[in-house]
Amino acid sequence: MAKPASVLPDTNVVLRYLLADHAEQYAQASAFFEAVREGHRQALILESVLTECVYVLHKFYRVPRLEVADKLSVLFHYKGIQNEDRADLVDALQRYGKSNLDWVDCLLLAKEAGGRFEVFSFDADLRKKPTAP
């Protein structure tokens, strides 16, 4: 069976790469993401994985919001990242790093800013439509 063209890294792979807190797993994650960075491997980071990374980094590891945004944004500039909505995801991460809005609200606002969607919400903070980062 041929190797798939693109890889779906899970939350733990992303976290081990960003945190370097488990030597053996970091080595494997680092080798993978370096290949992605150089464009030798292709990867798609699912929104659900990104969401879990944001919450785990901020809530469990107590990484400041801006640092969470910076660490995760870097991944979306790697040559091998296949996310078609990478600009929206980076926008959402920037909003998250520079505001007190919930991650999902930042994602909704970033998607809306792309011009293809309109947010419908009962959340007063979200209805204020905070400006772009």
pLDDT of res. 129? 64
Q: Which helix (H) or strand (E) holds 27?
A: helix 23-38
Q: Report the greatest alpha carbon distance in the chain.
A: 52
Structure tokens at 11: 């939350």
Stated pTM of the model: 0.90
CA-to-CA separations, 105 to 24, 76, 77, 112, 131, in angstroms, rounded: 35, 20, 23, 11, 12
pLDDT in tens, the chain (133 residues): 556 689 999 999 999 999 999 999 999 999 999 999 999 999 999 999 999 999 999 999 999 999 999 999 999 999 999 999 999 999 999 999 999 999 999 999 999 998 889 988 898 877 776 665 6
